[in-house]
Amino acid sequence: NIYHCDAIVNVGAFCGSVDYCCHCGEPCQGSTDRGCEHHCGWCGRDDCAVGVDGPFCQNCGRGVGSLDCLNHHIGVCGVSWICSSCFGRFKFGERDRREHVCGEHGCVSCGSFVLSDRLCSLQRRALKDPETKYVCFDFGTDQSSGVHKAGFCVARCMDG
Q: What is the reported pLDDT for 30?
A: 64
Tens-digit pLDDT profile for residues 63-83: 777 888 888 877 777 777 778
Q: Which residues pair with 27 in a beta bridge?
A: 20
* Predicted confidence (pLDDT) per residue in 142-157, tens digit: 888 888 888 888 888 8
Cross-strand pairs, 19: 28
Average pLDDT taken over every residue of the chain: 77
| Whether 56 contacts 62, CB under 8 Å | yes
Which neighbouring-strand residues pair with 53? none
pLDDT digits (tens, 9 = 90+) for 30-40: 666 656 777 77
pLDDT digits (tens, 9 = 90+) for 89-127: 777 778 777 888 888 877 877 777 888 777 777 777 788
pLDDT band (50, 70, 90) for residue 50: low
Mean pLDDT of 9-13: 76
Q: What is the mean pLDDT of residues 12-19?
A: 76
Could you give phi then psi for residue 59, rounded to 5 degrees? Answer: -80, -45
Per-residue burial over 118-130, b if 16 or more Cβ lie within 10 Å, else e, is eeeeeeeeeeeee
